[in-house]
């Protein structure tokens, strides 16, 4: 199964314990805290990002990028 093919408007893929789950979400949810009205334009900036699973094997080092004109959602546990 190609996850990209299964995703439509209002769907999200979440990797949990090695299993990809598809979650249906309501883009117009009134419960959304701090949401931006549809049609908003913004940009995402990463500056000097580094990541590794262990301290001795860096996976990403000093990554910087700007993605302009995008909308995105951030979800945390």
DSSP, collapsed to helix, strand or coil, labels residue 58 as strand
Q: What value, to the nearest 5°, has the Cα angle with vertex 62 and ends 56 and 65?
A: 140
Q: Which of the 8 DSSP states describes residue 74?
A: -
Q: List, for residues 31-52, the tens digit of each pLDDT value.
A: 556 666 666 567 778 899 888 8
Q: Token match 């951030």: residue? A: 74
CB 23 within 8 A of CB 14: yes
Q: Which of the 8 DSSP states describes residue 73?
A: -
Give me the residue spans of the domains in the chain.
3-26+40-70
CB 64 within 8 A of CB 47: yes
Q: Report the predicted TM-score, pTM, of the whole model to 2 decimal places.
A: 0.36
Q: List, for residues 56-77, the tens digit of each pLDDT value.
A: 888 888 989 888 876 666 676 6
């Amino acid at each position: 199964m190609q996850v990209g093919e299964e995703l439509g408007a209002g769907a999200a893929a979440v990797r949990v314990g090695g299993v990809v789950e598809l979650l249906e979400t309501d883009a117009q949810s009134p419960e959304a805290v701090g949401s931006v009205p549809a049609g908003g334009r913004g940009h995402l900036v990463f500056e000097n990002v580094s990541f590794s699973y262990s301290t001795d094997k860096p996976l990403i080092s000093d990554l910087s990028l700007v993605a302009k004109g995008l909308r995105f959602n951030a979800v945390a546990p």
